[in-house]
């Protein structure tokens, strides 16, 4: 190995080490947050309150690397949701639960299920938060990395039903995806996903 190859290898290891370290720090913070949320859930008896608390629990468990808990909390949200259709958090719960389940499926190599969950995440009436700040794009971004452009465009079209045109970035993102590129989703990669950091 010559000096140039050595320096390139050293730089690569440094970047990878920094990335792994950052992921571990995020996971550690998410685990601490998860423990707090779970402590709160133990003492929460009201149906609405449990519904509200389970929403961030699903994403925080995913961020903490607790796949089984993330699955369980997401399924619980989907079970609770039909009883809460008039509630402001209804759309948020449907959105978050399906995106978490989709990411878990994708991590397990089940691309078909991940695509189904992505579309299911937009199959709801929106919410005060989603209508203003828009949907989460984490799963869409992961699917784009695998070349799954068509389903992401379908997701954009479904999200256009609730994301206020005054704030929406969907048309700009759609144009980028149709050209074969990946948009910079910014804060929408972490929005509504408690426990995750903006990179």
Q: What is the DSSP code string of 58-71? A: HHHHHHTT-HHHHH
Per-residue pLDDT at 132 = 95
Q: What is the mean pLDDT of the chain?
A: 89
Residue 96 binned pLDDT confidence (cut-offs 50, 70, 90) = very high
Per-residue pLDDT at 7 = 45
Predicted model pTM = 0.86
DSSP 3-state of 49: helix
User: Residue 138 and residue 190: Cα distance in Å, rounded?
Assistant: 7
Residue 23 binned pLDDT confidence (cut-offs 50, 70, 90) = confident
**Alpha carbon 48 to chain centroid, angstroms:** 22
158 or 6: which carries more pLDDT confidence? 158
Q: How many CB atoms neighbour CB 165 within 10 A?
A: 8
User: Residue 71 and residue 35: Cα distance in Å, rounded?
Assistant: 16
**Where are the chain's structural domains?**
20-189
What are φ and ψ of residue 65, in 5° steps? 80, 15
User: Residue 171 and residue 180: Cα distance in Å, rounded?
Assistant: 15
Q: Which residues, 6+ apart, have CB-to-CB distance to 116 below 8 Å?
A: 102
Q: Which residues, 6+ apart, have CB-to-CB distance to 126 below 8 Å?
A: 91, 161, 162, 163
Q: What is the CATH code of the structural domain delimited by 20-189?
A: 1.25.40
Q: Which residues, 6+ apart, have CB-to-CB distance to 59 below 8 Å?
A: 70, 96, 100, 192, 193, 194, 195, 196
């Amino acid at each position: 190995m010559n000096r140039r190859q050595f320096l390139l290898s050293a730089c690569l290891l440094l970047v990878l080490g920094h990335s792994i370290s950052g992921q571990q720090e995020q996971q550690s913070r998410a685990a601490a947050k998860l423990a707090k949320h779970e402590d709160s859930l133990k003492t929460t008896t009201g149906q609405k309150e449990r519904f509200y608390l389970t929403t961030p629990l699903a994403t925080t468990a995913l961020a903490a690397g607790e796949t089984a808990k993330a699955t369980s909390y997401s399924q619980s949200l989907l079970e609770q949701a039909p009883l809460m259709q008039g509630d402001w958090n209804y759309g948020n719960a449907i959105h978050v639960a399906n995106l978490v389940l989709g990411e878990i499926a994708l991590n397990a190599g089940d691309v078909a299920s991940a695509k189904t969950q992505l579309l299911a995440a937009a199959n709801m009436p929106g919410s005060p938060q989603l209508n203003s700040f828009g949907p989460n794009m984490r799963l869409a971004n992961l699917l784009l990395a695998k070349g799954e452009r068509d389903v992401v465009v379908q997701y954009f079209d479904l999200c256009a039903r609730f994301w206020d045109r005054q704030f929406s970035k969907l048309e700009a993102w759609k144009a980028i995806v149709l050209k074969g590129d990946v948009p910079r989703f910014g804060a929408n990669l972490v929005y509504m996903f408690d426990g995750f950091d903006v990179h």
